[in-house]
Amino acid sequence: MNFKRFPGLAPALIAASALLFVATRAQAQEAPRVRFATSAGDFVVEVYPDKAPRTVENFLQYVKDKHYDGTLFHRVIENFMVQGGGFDARYAEKKTRPPIRHEGREALAKGGPKNVVGTLAMARTSDPHSAAAQFFINVKDNAFLDPTPIPPGDPVPRFEYQGRVYENTPRANLVNAPQLFGYTVFGKVVSGMEVIQKIKTSPTGAAGPFPSDVPQTPILVNSATLVK
In a domain, residue 24? The reply is: no
Same domain, residue pair 96 and 124: yes
Same domain, residue pair 130 and 196: yes
Prediction pTM value: 0.85
Same domain, residue pair 100 and 197: yes
Number of separate domains in the chain:
2
Question: What's the domain range around 172?
Answer: 148-181
pLDDT tens per residue across span 24-58 = 444 445 899 999 999 999 999 999 999 999 999 99
Same domain, residue pair 91 and 174: no
Same domain, residue pair 60 and 112: yes
Inter-residue contact 226 to 34 (CB < 8 Å): yes
CATH number where 134 lies: 2.40.100.10
**pLDDT computed for residue 228 by the predictor:** 79
Inter-residue contact 10 to 3 (CB < 8 Å): no
pLDDT tens per residue across span 49-106 = 999 999 999 999 999 999 999 999 999 999 999 999 999 999 999 999 999 999 999 9
